Amino acid sequence: MSPGLRFALLTALGLALFPFAFHAIDGYAGLATQILIMSIASIGFNLLLGYTGLLSYGHAMFYGGGGYVAALLLIRVMPQHPNLWLAVLGATLAATVLALLVGALAVRLYGIYFALLTLAFAQMIFFVVEQSQDWTNGDDGLQNFPAAMLPIGPYSIDLGTPLPALPLGPFGNLSDIKLWYIFAALVFFGVMIGVRALTRSQFGEVLTAIRENEERSTLIGFNAPAYRLAAFAISGALTGLAGALRALYDGSVPIDSVGIERSGSFVIFTIVGGVQTLFGPVVGTGLIMYLEAVLSGKLDYWRLIEGVIFVAVIIFLPAGIVGTINNRVKERRALLAASVRAK
Amino acid sequence: MVALTQALLNGLVLGLIYVAIAVGLTIVFGTLRLVNFAHGAFYAIGAYIGLVVAQQWGLGPALVAAPLAVALFAVILDRVLLRAFYSKDATSQILVTFGIALIVEETLRLIFGSTTLQYPPLPALATSFAMGPIVYPAYRLLFALGVVVMLVLVWLFLEKTDYGLIVRAGVRDRTMVQLLGGNIKAASTIVFALGAAIAGLVGAAASPIYSIAPGTGFAFLVPSFVVVVVGGLGSFWGAVLGGLLIGELQSVTTLVFPPAANVVIYLCMAVVLLLRPQGLLGESEVIRQ
Amino acid sequence: MTHVSNSTRGRFIGGAAVASAAAFGFPGIITAQSKQIVIGVNVPLSGPYADQGKDQQRAYDLAIDQINKSGGIMGMQLKASVGDDQTTAGVATDNAQRMIDRDGAVMITGGSSTGTAVAVSALCQRKATLFMATLTHGDETTNQNCHKHTFRRYNDAYMSAQSLARTLISKYGTGTWFHITADYSWGWSVHDNLAAVVNPRGAKEIAYVKLKLGTTDFSSALSQAQAAKPDVLVLTEFGADMVNCLNQAATFGLTKTCKILVPLVDEYMAKGTKDNFAGVVSTAPFYWQYHQQHYTYAKRFVEAFYDRYKAYPSNGAETAYVNMMVYKKAVEAAGSTDSAKLIPILETMQWNMTKGPEHFRKEDHQGVNSCLVVEGLPAADRTSDGFGFAKVLEEHNGPGIMAPLESLSCKMETA
């Protein structure tokens, strides 16, 4: 079996089992869906941080932007025939355009200056959204927009429909799962396959080369800013896609979806899971969201725990959870290979 | 005309708060090359300690206790954790200080609760100062004056002491100063503590004006970064100029076209970053990290 | 927080289980797992309205304990899943979603802002879960964004404006009005209602300054007011924001130079502003000192609350308490916690508790009850604990001060 096929099969298997295994540890299907959706945003964020080394402190502008555009398309453009495809595609496109505009200016900067410029743009977007009250409803955010249907061929599918009932003991009931989970899992699967291919393509290799040594890459003839801009645009597009999905899933777009704390959350998710790894952002997103959803009901101060985890990871596991595991596995293999050779 | 004068006064007070927070941020960056996202936390800790002490013993002791406590906290933080990050890239510094800011915010919530706290409306605080048609709260004017005095003292420290020399030299040529070795460690601790103490002092002094909540630190941190960027990372006078500029810009925009009051400062920040990344008064240095 | 359900999984609990399962088309699959009704208590425990949220939580705890001690509802014990909505719409909906999905809450209640109420209301409608809104005063909750699953007992801004108008015009005359308003649905609603009442009667609005929820520095708005020299300064701010705003207004000398109007007040806001609130006119749906004199049920509630917390209930706490008691009555009448059965009961039910006879209007689910116009007392004339903060100028009664049905833009769903 080729590594690519094996990766695809394992991912698909994981997605199929996830909500049931999750139920056994006090998770619930709605949260599983949200985790997949937010993971897409983190994957997008990691594409930028992991493969260009650029830390964006403004990814909420793409996330929230995607959400607002999706909601506004439903409210203003197609209230009679709310089409989920069009809302999601329109929102993703809008996020991509925004990322190209901001990126065109930002990719010339590095480090703190890049972080602060993305923060500045995100704050501008936040306050513009907040003040455009006729469109965005200001501080209250958007709710009450038509529930989008997913047209497939002659059918129009309501993703809120649950699967048929089938008790599964400690793993819950099949009917806990709504079509939304399946839809989110399919999109997630597509994103995973796409991002894996991208990072293994020549494009990914050039990005890594630029990150490691920009001068040398430029001398070889690569247009570094153009590559970074492309990475920024794809990153923004994925985050915008996630924002749109979350808005449609939740049926609301809060003002905090474009806020600075949302930008910070992508940083936390990705760092905890592990930058420069495929599954790191997913694990980080899942872990933090799970802790939030479970601990917030039991402990008043789960956010303190979240902060401690974050700092502990930075200090003790700078490669993140998945990155550290990957490194250990690699070391083991190297040791094993060495001992085999020695024999 | 009265409205404009009042707006300029408001802008001055707001600007001076920004300056006072940004000065610490900027000298720490200038000397230690540390991007400190936890700087706002120093303000918040100062504000809380100030409020508690002020309720017990009055505002005077609060203005002494808050900066001392914050400086102590900063020294411990520096020794235990941050020192290891001086030599790392800006991204790692942002991450670790952002994490510390989260922990401080939540710890404050744990100790003082989530409720917004504020000074009781003391008659002494309610006095206003009248000059013709312009009436202005006396405490705000006093506060502004206090910040100016403090800035002069900080400037004297930077200009007239050996530590100040190291700070100024560090802004120009970090490697050179590092080669001097020895007392630079002590100097960097003092600089870090000083930056924190200033933020703590301002937090305590501003608490009769602004209410305090666990998130207060972040709320002030973000505009302070705007100030530092506009003025120039690492520059003392840059922070002063940037703070006053941003304060007045925000205040006058609020008067003229309120919906743009917040957008305009971030627009200003973005324009400076794109056209003059070293800031208005910053030393031109290599922007690459 | 000790109220979180660990033993209940899934959405359908107790008596609701069979009925709801049948409605969803899986009869008999989900069976009653435990004798428990989970209620989602979604209140601000942080942010500018935290004092109000905490007081609501006290009232919920009291109501739930009282109900459980007297045998629960139809033999089932109540259990609260508590969340801090941080006065933020996004957090409030996240919480409510968790309470429903994770803890199996069959009713969501609480809240201290129209922004969060409208957002939670939309979510509860999608989730077919009952929402008994608590402290939300903007019209939207039961008008523009009304929903079949949402009931609001608290006065709306229209009622406050109508009540104020009757007292105001004689007291405040018709001079120039300067509005400082919280910039979200509640503030807009209060401003529009007040303007609609006083402007046609000759009041001249000279400014309408909107400030973000959680603003800490009101100086720019206050100095504009200072320069404009209005006759009336309207501070449409709530919770800690109002305390901050009024106290800062005093430092600008405004409490001396103009008449101040605060459209909605509660005990904690009055305590925080002390003498700055003296002489300020406002409205409140409930005032413990007043209502306990007139209604024995109110007296019992106020005493039980005081016994337990050594404090008097604010008006938000009173609505929280009554919401629970009304819910109990409705569930007992319906014989089920299924929202489809409860809604028709709530739409027609009458109750006589803390404020005399009350009901929800069927057309918009707005509570029909009274509104008080109050005036703040100087600190020296208050009760020593500060809770007795006002004198009641007038009590206005239900239907007469409510938005006429034909004026509503509420389009209620059928289910």
pLDDT (tens digit per residue) in A279-332: 999 999 999 999 988 877 677 778 899 899 999 999 999 999 999 999 999 999
Six token digits for residue B130:
């009248």
Strands (E), C117-254: 130-133, 150-152, 176-182, 204-211, 232-236
For residues B99 and C52, give the distance between their C-alpha atoms in angstroms, rounded to a whole number: 31
pLDDT tier, A137 (very low <50, low <70, confident <90, very high otherwise): very high
Q: pLDDT digit string (tens) for C150-187? A: 999 999 999 999 998 877 776 676 789 999 999 999 99
Q: State the best of C220, C247, C248 to mutate against chain B, taking most chain B CBs within 10 Å.
A: C220
For residues A56 and A78, give the distance between their C-alpha atoms in angstroms, rounded to a whole number: 33
For residues C66 and C54, give the distance between their C-alpha atoms in angstroms, rounded to a whole number: 18
Six token digits for residue C129:
């879960």
C-chain CB neighbours of A293 within 8 Å are 98, 102
pLDDT tier, B175 (very low <50, low <70, confident <90, very high otherwise): low
Q: Write down the pLDDT at residue B178.
A: 65
What value does the mean pLDDT take over residues B34-40? 91
DSSP string, C384-398: TTS---EEEEEEE-H
Q: pLDDT digit string (tens) for C272-315? A: 898 999 999 999 999 999 999 999 999 999 999 999 999 999 99
Q: pLDDT digit string (tens) for B190-205? A: 889 999 999 999 999 9
B-chain CB neighbours of A121 within 8 Å are 266, 270
- Among B16, B37, B67, smallest CA distance to B227 is for B16
Q: Lowest mean pLDDT of A252-256, B115-119, B257-261, name the range.
A: B115-119
Nearest chain B Cα distance for residue C189, angstroms: 19
Amino acid (1-letter code) at residue B174: R
Q: State the best of A54, A55, A127, A300 to mutate against chain B, taking most chain B CBs within 10 Å.
A: A127
pLDDT at C68 over 50: yes
Q: Crossing angle, helix A84-106 and helix A60-72, to 10 degrees?
A: 150
* C127 burial level (CB within 10 Å; 0-12, 13-18, 19+): buried
Q: In terms of CA atoms, which chain A residue is nearest residue B35?
A: A112
Q: Which sign, positive or negative, has the C-alpha torsion B79, B80, B84, B90?
A: negative
C-chain CB neighbours of A132 within 8 Å are none
- State whether B103 and A304 contact (CB < 8 Å): yes
Sheet of strand C130-133, all strands in order from the earlier edge strand to the far edge: C77-84, C36-43, C107-110, C130-133, C150-152
Q: Lowest mean pLDDT of B272-276, C19-23, C83-87, C139-143, name the range.
A: C19-23
Mean pLDDT of the residues in chain A = 93
Q: Which of C210, C223, C240 sits opposite B7 (nearest CB)?
A: C223
What does pTM read for this prediction? 0.91
Question: Which ranges of chain A does DSSP label H, i.e. alpha helix?
Answer: 3-24, 29-52, 60-72, 84-106, 111-131, 133-136, 179-200, 202-212, 214-220, 224-250, 260-273, 280-298, 302-316, 320-342
Collapsing DSSP to helix, strand or coil, A25 comes out as: coil
Six token digits for residue A246:
């979350």
Task: State ipTM.
Answer: 0.90
For residues A273 and A265, give the distance between their C-alpha atoms in angstroms, rounded to a whole number: 12
pLDDT tier, B113 (very low <50, low <70, confident <90, very high otherwise): confident
Provide the β-strand partners of residue A149: A83
* C220 burial level (CB within 10 Å; 0-12, 13-18, 19+): buried
Nearest chain B Cα distance for residue C42, angstroms: 15
- State whether B95 and A113 contact (CB < 8 Å): no
Q: In terms of CA atoms, which chain A residue is nearest residue C103?
A: A297
Q: State the best of C7, C93, C124 to mutate against chain A, taking most chain A CBs within 10 Å.
A: C93
